[in-house]
Structure 1
């Protein structure tokens, strides 16, 4: 409740005060002229107009409206609870409040037919509430997201008025509340990959990684050593530069690179079916890798909503690593003009050897093939997964190539 949005009036009607004055004047004139029926009708009209004016001026005073979504993270098809809450903290009851709540179009609400919205990818939930004096009411809905994404709820438009419907006060509640829908995670064999060894023979030639947290010792600095590996305390003590010797660990690492380009030129748009399938495949590979004990990282040549130009999550063994990867895939914006081979070349220069690079793409270019071959020659394990396109690259030891068809995998 502390995060409830502030309700701001949108609309006021100015005809009621003049109507009320006219009814009172007419009633007094009828009394003076000895017309009791006319006076009674005039004063009744005045009472009704006064009540309408009361609701117009104070209908939304000390009223709060908010919505919550639980849980805030879900997979497609899972059920979430959408709760609308309206609190009236004044002694004046509200006989009716119409709530028009704007929802993501990717959300299905059980038992409710959502109305179309003029905004793209949005729908409207319309409901009617009655709130007594000093009362709080709730309306709960069971909803189901149908596809991955980052979704905001609201704004909402509330309308109330007097019991006779003569006057209406309208106000708007700002958007609040989000839902992150992860990509669908499935067994890797459902995509057409081998169940037991989905990475095939893409084993790095130097499988052991240096662990930067485990220092084995130091040695004199040699040209070509990374400045980041200089042990400055030992260098100061011995009077010459010393390089840290790091222990090697057998923990394998998996670097997932997802390409969101589906056409040669970015202005041609995207193929949403192939792209969403590739995103789901990448999420499933991340889940598989972590389950198999890999340190898994993610790179995507597309930005997060409100984030950096590229998604970049270094391989790690943190317990929340899979959740971070799934959140990034849920929130990526699938529009880019950047090439995946450029991202590969830039990022792998800063990564340690001994990891397996997996590229998921629906667009295999000559430049990408050259980049993957260069990485393979440097000792990386390389896996190319071509989605509904020709890879144009043969498999060999340490380099595994798959050509997967969306329609065939979906039928299986």
Structure 2
């Protein structure tokens, strides 16, 4: 008889706690998930931060937070969470246990291995009773975004042909002395104008000194990236790694030009996420322009908006003259050569960098100037 009452009491306790936790386990729970920062460069390690608070008298014996994230976010191993990855997406599961009126903060380290836009859209919370036999779920909407910039490749921008050289940026090689940029003073030489005399330096040295002018240049570079990974491609990119390499080359060329104080623009037969037209950014200088380019490159979709030859043909009617044009493409054929010749006929200097084959992508020496002309 005692055993019977023991079983009855145990069954009643299990039933009551099951009803209690089913009804209240997910109540007054606050959960947030966010990235440590909103932007980073591909390959940087950042943090994904989870914060959970139990604002009620009832403990939470166990809680599972499950969400789907991009497979391009590589998590470092750790306790109390699990990741199962597929080709494009991965399931991320975190496990918690909270006492009454407690807060918990958990940090996961991850590395984005590819540029792009990564969002935190929703998460499913599942909690249950003391014995794990009953579970109740609730979906929470999240609003978080991580913008991953392409990693700027180290590219030989100095090898590009050039046209316009007069401006405010000092360069290492001789082009033309700029009378507005004074680098110092030197001794007077026959042929120097007396208007160039540096009177302060003359007084200090006791001999006639003239201004030493810096050699400066102003380059306006327009970069074009072809999303087509082969001549027969229609819309969808097969070799995504190859085109990603091209975007990194473009980022590297733009950064090198910006750091020299020169102007750079960008165009591609790709659209940004949520748009349908080919992207185009007019040439400008300054680090704000670089941020605009990186933001746009991060949001590029690897889908063709129009044939690359059409994009180049449209550039002949833009109205610019005497620019430096850099074309980055996985292939080169007679049609593209004809379009580049038309651009040269408008006074542009055109250079072509041909992307390497997939098996050579890891070779840092594979970047070569495929064709160049002025």
Same fold (TM over 0.5): yes
Q: 213, 219, 228: which is aligned to 1:261? A: 228
Which whole-Å CA distance do the structure 1 matches of 2:311 and 2:159 have between them?
A: 24
More moved, 96-105 vs 293-302: 96-105
Alignment of 1:42-61 (within 5 A): 42-61=8-27
- Counterparts in 2 of 1:341 and 1:294: CA distance versus 1, 3 Å: farther
Q: Which has the higher strand share?
A: 2
Contact 1:302-1:336 at 8 Å conserved across structures: yes
Alignment of 1:103-182 (within 5 A): 103-112=69-78, 114-117=82-85, 120-153=87-120, 155-182=122-149
Partner SS, residue 159 of structure 2: coil
Partner of 1:402: none
Partner of 1:203: 162
Partner SS, residue 142 of structure 1: strand
Contact 1:208-1:354 at 8 Å conserved across structures: no
Say whether 1:184 aligns with 2:151. yes
Which whole-Å CA distance do the structure 1 matches of 2:17 and 2:133 have between them?
A: 9
Deviation at 1:373, TM superposition (A): 0.6
Deviation at 1:142, TM superposition (A): 1.4
Deviation at 1:408, TM superposition (A): 4.6
Say whether 1:352 aligns with 2:313. no
- Counterparts in 2 of 1:100 and 1:155: CA distance versus 1, 3 Å: same
Deviation at 1:129, TM superposition (A): 0.8
Partner of 2:51: 85
Which whole-Å CA distance do the structure 1 matches of 2:82 and 2:341 have between them?
A: 52
Contact 1:207-1:355 at 8 Å conserved across structures: no
- Counterparts in 2 of 1:198 and 1:270: CA distance versus 1, 3 Å: farther
Which whole-Å CA distance do the structure 2 matches of 1:407 and 1:160 have between them?
A: 46
Deviation at 1:186, TM superposition (A): 2.9
Which whole-Å CA distance do the structure 1 matches of 2:229 and 2:366 have between them?
A: 22
- Counterparts in 2 of 1:285 and 1:380: CA distance versus 1, 3 Å: same
Contact 2:271-2:305 at 8 Å conserved across structures: no
Give per-residue Cα distances to partners, 1:11-43, cap 9 Å, x unaligned: xxxxxxxxxxxxxxxxxxxxxxxx665345424
Partner SS, residue 229 of structure 2: coil
Contact 2:237-2:302 at 8 Å conserved across structures: no
Partner of 2:298: 330
- Counterparts in 2 of 1:408 and 1:137: CA distance versus 1, 3 Å: closer
Contact 1:266-1:337 at 8 Å conserved across structures: no
Superposition RMSD on alpha carbons, in Å? Answer: 2.7
Contact 1:259-1:301 at 8 Å conserved across structures: yes
Deviation at 1:162, TM superposition (A): 1.5
Normalising by structure 1, we get a TM-score of 0.69
Deviation at 1:410, TM superposition (A): 5.0
More moved, 279-288 vs 80-89: 80-89
Say whether 1:310 aligns with 2:278. yes
Partner SS, residue 324 of structure 2: strand
Which whole-Å CA distance do the structure 2 matches of 1:152 and 1:72 have between them?
A: 10
Say whether 1:73 aligns with 2:39. yes
Say whether 1:270 aligns with 2:270. no
Contact 1:151-1:178 at 8 Å conserved across structures: yes
Partner of 1:30: none
Partner SS, residue 103 of structure 2: strand
- Counterparts in 2 of 1:408 and 1:108: CA distance versus 1, 3 Å: closer
Where does structure 1 lack aligned partners over 5 or more consecutive residues?
1-34, 210-249, 390-404
Which whole-Å CA distance do the structure 2 matches of 1:80 and 1:134 have between them?
A: 30
Which whole-Å CA distance do the structure 2 matches of 1:355 and 1:208 have between them?
A: 13
Give per-residue Cα distances to partners, 1:355-396, cap 9 Å, x unaligned: 21111111223221111111111111212212238xxxxxxx
Which whole-Å CA distance do the structure 2 matches of 1:146 and 1:408 have between them?
A: 18
Count matched residues.
314
More moved, 46-55 vs 287-296: 46-55
- Counterparts in 2 of 1:154 and 1:51: CA distance versus 1, 3 Å: same
